[in-house]
Amino acid sequence: MNKIKVGIVGFGMSAQVFHVPFLEANNHFKITKILERNSEKSRLLYPNIDVVKSLDQLVLDEQIDLIVVTTPNLSHYEIVKRSLLNNKHVIVEKPFTVNVQQADELIEIAQKKKLVLSVYHNRRFDGGFLTLKKVIEDDLIGQVVEYEAHFDRFRNYIKDSWREAEEKGSGIVYDLGSHLIDQALYLFGLPKTVWADIRIQRENAKTADNFEIILGYEKLKVTLKASMLVREQSPHLAIHGTKGSYVKYGLDPQEEL
């Protein structure tokens, strides 16, 4: 069997937890190179995988079929674009890009070159979310009239992280909001209206740490909320219909496909 040869860009938490272990466990893939510019942490865990220091060593390697991008949000556009222009299929961590213009350009390149370009939205496979989806599909609560999803944390301090830095693509909307928005669009499609309230609430914070987004449909109201200052957790998912409700507290593991 010819395996799909993979190059990984970045080796932070996302690569270590959500990408490399899954690819290593799947016989259809073979990771050949990991790009780590400032360290070689991956070599300790995966000594059989080469560590490289430049993007060219991945995108110009004719043996590599697929590039997996796990770097900070602001860098996604340039890395994905260079990968596509060098005829590589791409999986990129959420959020796809920091604005719609970048996203549209990358989609156009992938379509012209007939390449696979996919965004990694792993929260579609959480057990609680899959149960909610089945509740809707099986018509257990009737016509859905309201859906509310929370992704709250209690972190009253500022971490030394690019996610907390004052730069494009940082903050809670890009980080946790991308999960909630993707789940809502996956369930209900594009809304007719969008309203948002985005705030900085923690002292000395430099980027958004609270949001509420309301998506309006013909008869359905969708509310998406996240905060870094919620100690007592609200339901993670709640959906109400003309015949009943489904409410889910806490996050479940992701299900096997």
Query: Where do we find the tokens 């909320």?
Result: 225
What pLDDT does residue 224 have?
Answer: 99
Q: Read out DSSP for 73-116?
A: GGGHHHHHHHHHHTT-EEEEESS--SSHHHHHHHHHHHHHHT--
CATH number of 4-120: 3.40.50.720
What pLDDT does residue 254 have?
Answer: 63
Q: What is the pLDDT of residues 11-47, one digit of tens each?
A: 999 999 999 999 999 999 999 999 998 888 898 899 9
Give 170-176 contacts, CB < 8 A, sequence gap 24+: 170/73, 170/74, 170/207, 171/207, 171/208, 171/209, 172/207, 172/208, 172/209, 172/210, 172/211, 172/226, 172/227, 172/228, 173/198, 173/208, 173/211, 173/226, 174/73, 174/95, 174/98, 176/151, 176/226
pTM of the predicted model, to two decimals? 0.91
Q: What are phi and psi of 167, to 5 degrees?
A: -150, 160
Domains in the chain: boundaries: 4-120, 123-248
CATH architecture of the domain covering 123-248? 2-Layer Sandwich (3.30)
User: Of the given ranges (9-23, 39-53, 153-167), which has the lowest mean pLDDT?
Assistant: 153-167
Q: What is the pLDDT of residues 197-217, one digit of tens each?
A: 999 999 999 999 999 999 999
* In the predicted structure, residue 240 carries a pLDDT above the cut 80: yes
Looking at the chain, the whole-number percentage of residues with pLDDT higher than 70 is: 98
Cβ–Cβ under 8 Å, residues 179 and 186: no
152: left (phi over 0), alpha (psi -120 to 50) or beta: beta
Looking at the chain, the whole-number percentage of residues with pLDDT higher than 90 is: 87
